[in-house]
Amino acid sequence: MHLSNKLVLPDLLAACPFKWSIHPDFERARDESAAWISGFKVLPEHKRVLIESELLIALVIPFAGYEELRTYCDFSNLLFVVDEYSDELNGAETQKFGEVFVKALSGEPTQGSVFSKIGEEFRSRLIQKAKPKCMERFLARFAGYINAVSKESALRCDNEVLDIESFIHVRRENSAVRVCFSLLEYIHGIELPDEVFEHPVFMRLYWQGVDAVWLANDLYSYSMERAKGLEGSNMLTIAMKEKGLSMQGAADYVGDEIMLRMNQFVADQKELPSFGEAVDKDVQKYIFSMSQWQVGSMVWSFQSSRYFGAEKDEVKKTLVVNVKNYGDDDDDDADEGVFE
């Protein structure tokens, strides 16, 4: 085994302006959603258990109704299926594979495909309560997610590392944060008018929320990805290459970028104009859930075994990570996306 490198994580949770909680019905939703995805027999059980995606969902939508919680958990498991299989495919293969889900979620099933069946069953739950604009935005974001995952697969196969600007463009999509945000209207039973998403202040808030989530994901998942040779699609790697930073310097840089976005997220809320009393209430619900995604995903990174394994409690306490090198980890479980 190579000598591990020490990486000190910035203490983001201590400085985070948002409070967190966990959904009281987490265990029930976890068990039901796990049984649902396991029934398709498309994932090795140890990999599904390791990712603990249902715990993430319970932390990011702690005040949702139970039906919405369960549906969101189902979606997290659907995303894991896409992530798992795309790891083994090139760009064109990933696009073809992902299109099966895109069509199923759009109401165009592929006969004989178990993956289409997963999409169909999720869609049947979603359309019971999702409003038209929510469905429209969700389908558009999901198609964008598949396109970006395909792009990432092609980059991985070509051993290509992007510059920061190009990477951000791809990472915002392949992280799945945007497609997860697109279901927040469903979670709250609301339908925001287009003028909200077209307003520059709201969109600043939106992008700050999206970026804070995937940047934190890259920070916490770096060691795990490096052990598997997948760190090419990680902001720390991109920053080290483009800015000439050390690994610690890159971690500090990413931490600063996350705090900048979270603090600006708070500040920009004061600049948001009124869209009318009824719409304003819905906008505040959406903004609140974006804040919960930011803090909840960070909390999950330390509560789950996903990134730090058996060392998670020690890492949570000390913020020191023993960064592994490629080949130091014999486990082959590695995934792209928001659950990296």
Distance CA 54, CA 76 (A): 7
**Average model confidence (pLDDT) across the chain:** 92
Q: Which candidate, 246, 214, 251, places its Cα nearest to that of 233? A: 214
pLDDT at 1 (0 to 100):
35
pLDDT at 232 (0 to 100):
83
> pLDDT class for 276, splitting at 50, 70, 90?
very high
Residue 335 lies in a domain: no
Percent of the chain with pLDDT over 70: 93
pLDDT at 334 (0 to 100):
44
Taking only the tens place, the pLDDT of each residue in 187-245 is: 999 999 999 999 999 999 999 999 999 999 999 999 998 988 878 889 999 999 999 99
Residue 10 lies in a domain: no
Taking only the tens place, the pLDDT of each residue in 121-141 is: 999 999 999 999 999 999 999
Residue 187 lies in a domain: yes
Q: Which candidate, 112, 94, 283, places its Cα nearest to that of 185? A: 283
Give the range among 48-57, 61-70, 105-114, 257-266 with minimum mean pLDDT: 48-57
pLDDT at 333 (0 to 100):
46
**Mean per-residue pLDDT for 5-17?**
95
Instruction: Look up the CATH number of the domain holding residue 165.
Output: 1.10.600.10
> pLDDT class for 117, splitting at 50, 70, 90?
very high
Question: 146 is in which domain, residue-wise?
Answer: 22-321
* pTM for the predicted model, two decimal places: 0.93
Residue 134 lies in a domain: yes
H/E run at residue 7: strand 5-8
Residue 48 lies in a domain: yes
Taking only the tens place, the pLDDT of each residue in 287-306 is: 999 999 999 999 999 999 88
Q: Which amino acid is at 64?
A: A
Distance CA 185, CA 4 (A): 44
Residue 144 lies in a domain: yes
Is 279 within 8 Å of 190 (Cβ atoms)? no
Count of structural domains within the chain: 1
Higher model confidence: residue 270 or residue 305?
270
The string of DSSP letters for 185-209 reads: HHHHT----HHHHTSHHHHHHHHHH
The string of DSSP letters for 282-315 reads: HHHHHHHHHHHHHHHHHHHHHHSSTTTGGGHHHH
pLDDT at 156 (0 to 100):
82
Q: Which candidate, 56, 8, 18, 58, places its Cα nearest to that of 317? A: 8
Residue 189 lies in a domain: yes
Residue 167 has pLDDT above 70, yes or no: yes
Is 197 within 8 Å of 222 (Cβ atoms)? no
Residue 339 has pLDDT above 70, yes or no: no
Residue 332 lies in a domain: no
pLDDT at 337 (0 to 100):
54
